[in-house]
Amino acid sequence: MINLKKSLLAGAIAACSLSAAAVETAYNIVPLGTFEDNEIFAFGINNNDVAVGYSYVTGGFPSRGYAYDNGTFTNMGSIVNQELAIGFIAATIDESVAFDINDNGMMIGYSVESVPQFDENNDPVTVTVDQGLDTERELQSGLPVQRAIYTQVGSQVLSQVPLFEPEQDHGVRALAVNNNGVIVGFAELDVDDDLTAEGEDAEFIVNRGVIYDTQTDTLTRVNPLNYDNLPRSIALKDINDNGVAVGWSQVAFESSFLFNGVVVNAASPETLTTIDPGEETASLFNAINNNGMVAGKLYDLEKQRYEGIMFNSNNGAFEIIPPLVEGLDSQICCDNASPYDINAQNIIVGSMIADVVPDTYHAFAYQNGTTYDLNDLIDCTQTLTTGVRDWVLYEARQINDNGIIIGNGLFGGERKAFMLTPNPGATPTQCDFEQEEEDSGSGSIPASLIVLLSCLAVIRRKVS
């Protein structure tokens, strides 16, 4: 483990070994539109400028994973299911989500499988479902379970990441893939090695880290940091092309469970490295680039909020990401910043608090000690009344080495996915944010998964 206080003194900040490209002063914004007439979220983008994410219907699901390439959408496909009773409703589930894509066109995520339910005698469990018009019928009960999947763009031939247990009725998600076809994520399990304080088997569903090499068909389970054998979870969020993954692990203190960001090499998955502040605090790691630089967040005990950090997994040094606005702290939760990705030039992107009462988050980019609000780097007025802001960017999900950023925001108060392309030398038109306050409802815009921002240059890898 790496001591946080020593890391603070260790250095000015572990800058990158590369000559850093700068955050652009202006970007053009491209709305990604709709897929199958449904709104979309954007999650990832590769160095060929192909983006992935999922579409959704108002009110929730079903969702459908997609790839977006220069204005054209491609369906990810989904697991083919039989009709079963989900609860007391007859349903044929057709659902998938894409989180990431590598430079070879391999996209990953999850699809939902309907698992038929049987009793102790191996007889089908049936329920009565309402057909409408006062008609009913008996149908076998099913359990919707997430399965980690991968596929090549355009093939719609899905492959599943293997399960740790042959009849695993709990979910598995693939969250990131590197350019060597190595996938990371997490699986939900009721494992035997978790014990209660009395030393008995703890019947809890916990997460275990997943590393799966699609080239060698090798599945590796990553266990959490071991504190007193109490039930605890781990999830892996990203992996670089050197086979180094990052994520978070639960750790148990006397009074609580907290999260620690972890670094693990696929070649030695039993060894986890983390920030160890020597006290009850928390951290989470979301992304790692090929230089070993990590985007994550660290809990500030004084503010009782998470602050964004860039952590050097090579030597333990780290730096705090400055806020967009000094003196602001979330009023309703615990996140001042959620860094989601880091590229080859050590540019970090994510979501950060920009206003309070109500809490409002903006997409940001960070490099070399400076934090940028991406809303200030685009023309605020695209199609609506001149001088009235129609785009509000609240999260940046990923950025590739061509400087293309993918993320999500509000357009005229409606949630939309966007792509930002560098527009060097331009001067963006600025507007106020009155419309954002009117249209964002509670004002607490979700700071969910986010990723990258970039400018030129070399190699890197992404998160979820």
DSSP string spanning 224-289? PP-STT----EEEEEE-TTSEEEEEEEEE-SS-EEEEEEEEETTSTT-EEEEE-SSS--EEEEEE-
Decide if pLDDT at 438 tops 60: no
pLDDT of 205 over the 70 cut: yes
Domain assignment present for 148: yes
pLDDT score of 318 more than 60: yes
Rounded to an integer, what distance in angstroms lies between the CA atom of residue 173 and that of residue 181? 16
- Distance (Å, whole) CA 17 – CA 291: 8
Note whether residue 227 is domain-resident: yes
pLDDT at position 443:
30
pLDDT tens figures, 265-294: 999 999 888 876 555 578 999 999 999 999
d(CA 434, CA 447): 20
Task: Provide the 3-class DSSP secondary structure of residue 212.
Answer: strand
Q: Within a 13 Å sphere around the CA of 325, how many CA atoms are in the beta-carbon half?
A: 13
The answer to whether residue 449 is domain-embedded is: no
CB 85 within 8 A of CB 76: no
Closest by CA to 112, choosing from 131, 129, 93, is: 93
List C-alpha distances in Å: 30 to 27, 108, 411, 419.
10, 24, 11, 5
The whole-number pLDDT of residue 91 equals 82
| 128 domain residue, yes or no | yes
Number of helices followed by number of strands (H, E) in the chain: 2, 33
Q: How far apart are CA 331 and CA 462, in angstroms?
A: 30
**pLDDT beyond 90 at 67:** yes
Residue 327 predicted with pLDDT over 80: no
Separation CA 13–CA 7 (nearest Å): 9
Q: What is the total count of domains within the chain?
A: 1
Q: Where are the beta strands (DSSP E) in 39-170?
A: 39-45, 51-57, 60-69, 72-75, 84-86, 89-91, 96-101, 106-116, 126-132, 135-140, 142-152, 159-160
Give the span between the Cα atoms of 93 and 146, in whole angstroms: 11
If you write DSSP's letter for every residue of 351-392 in order, what string do you get? EEEEETTTTEEEEEEEETTEEEEGGGGS-S-SSSSTTS--EE
Would you call 68 helix, strand, or coil by DSSP? strand
For the ranges 36-45, 194-203, 353-362, 452-461, the lowest mean pLDDT is seen at: 452-461
pLDDT digit string (tens) for 142-195? 888 899 999 999 887 999 999 887 666 678 999 999 999 999 999 988 766 555
What's the pLDDT tens digit per position in 90-132? 888 888 999 999 999 999 999 998 888 888 888 989 888 877 6
Q: Is the pLDDT of residue 456 over 70?
A: no
The answer to whether position 455 is within a domain reads no
Please state whether the predicted TM-score (pTM) of the whole model is above 0.95: no
Do residues 324 and 350 lie in contact, with contact meaning Cβ atoms separated by under 8 Å?
A: no
More confident call, 405 vs 56 = 405
Q: Which helix (H) or strand (E) holds 416?
A: strand 414-422
Q: Which residue has the higher pLDDT, 36 or 409?
A: 409
Cβ-contact 191, 183 below 8 angstroms: no
Predicted confidence at residue 450, as pLDDT, reads 25
Q: How confident is the model at residue 357 (pLDDT cuts 50, 70, 90)?
A: low
The mean pLDDT value for 383-401 works out to 80
Element at 436 (helix H, strand E): helix 434-439
Per the model's pLDDT, the better-predicted residue between 365 and 333 turns out to be 365
Q: Is the pLDDT of residue 418 over 50?
A: yes
**Picking from 10-19, 26-35, 240-249, which range would have the lowest pLDDT averaged per residue?**
10-19
> What gap in Å lies between CA 201 and CA 195, rounded to an integer?
5
Q: Is 20 contained in some domain?
A: yes
Residue 341's domain spans which residues? 2-439
Closest CA to 453 of 392, 386, 377, 364: 364
Whether residue 309 is predicted with pLDDT greater than 50 in this model: the reply is yes
Residue 18 has pLDDT above 90, yes or no: no
* Average pLDDT taken over every residue of the chain: 80
Q: Are 29 and 358 within 8 A, CB to CB?
A: no
Q: Which of 306, 387, 383, 401 is nearest to 350 (CA)?
A: 306
Q: Given the structure tokens 């060894």, which residue do they identify?
A: 271
pLDDT at residue 439 in the model: 36
pLDDT, residue 168, reads: 61
Q: Does residue 395 surpass a pLDDT of 90?
A: yes
Of the listed ranges 70-84, 191-205, 394-408, the least confidently predicted one is: 191-205
Which range among 6-10, 235-239, 245-249, 449-453 shows the weakest confidence by mean pLDDT?
Answer: 449-453
What pLDDT sits at residue 440?
37
Domain CATH code at residue 170? 2.130.10.150
Percent of the chain residues past pLDDT 90, beyond the cut: 43
| Mean pLDDT (whole number) for 1-19 | 36
**What secondary structure letter does DSSP report for 93?**
-
Asked, for residue 117, whether it belongs to a domain, the answer is yes
What pLDDT sits at residue 224?
A: 86
Quick one: pLDDT at residue 374?
A: 95
Q: Which of 294, 289, 313 is nearest to 401 (CA)?
A: 289
- Which of residues 110 and 223 earns the better pLDDT score? 110
H/E run at residue 10: helix 4-10
What mean pLDDT comes out for the span 420-436? 77
Residue 356's pLDDT is what? 78
Domain-embedded: residue 458: no
Q: What is the dihedral of CA 335, 361, 321, 242, to 10 degrees?
A: 80
